[in-house]
């Protein structure tokens, strides 16, 4: 009975560790996505001239993912990643 409780505690602890690692990967991917869009936005601003303005065009799907990425990054900044 005692070993069964220890196994369940180990499984719970292992699940939390795995979930924390998955959340770290999601955070890293969110950072990469935000940096990518920031780079493209700056590139569009720099290459734009008065004679030939260049718009930064983004699809609805990309805009949704960018919004989720920024929201997740802000959430991690204020609350942290730990479960």
Residue 51's H or E segment, with its range, is none
SS3 52: coil
Neighbours of 69 (CB within 10 A): 21
77 and 30 Cβ atoms separated by less than 8 Å = no
Predicted TM-score (pTM) of this structure: 0.77
From the centroid of its chain, how far is CA 19?
15
pLDDT in tens, the chain (83 residues): 555 555 665 677 888 888 999 999 999 999 999 999 999 999 988 888 778 888 888 999 999 999 999 999 999 999 987 76
Query: Nearest 5°: phi and psi at 57?
Result: -95, 130
- The answer to whether residues 25 and 72 touch, using CB atoms and an 8 Å cutoff, is no
């Amino acid at each position: 009975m005692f070993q069964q409780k220890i196994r369940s505690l180990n499984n719970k602890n292992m699940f939390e560790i795995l979930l924390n690692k998955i959340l770290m990967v999601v955070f890293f991917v969110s950072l990469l996505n935000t940096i990518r869009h920031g780079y493209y936005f700056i590139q569009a601003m720099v290459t734009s001239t008065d004679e030939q303005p260049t718009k930064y065009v983004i699809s609805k799907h990309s805009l949704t993912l960018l919004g989720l990425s920024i929201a997740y990054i802000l959430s991690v900044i204020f609350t942290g990643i730990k479960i």
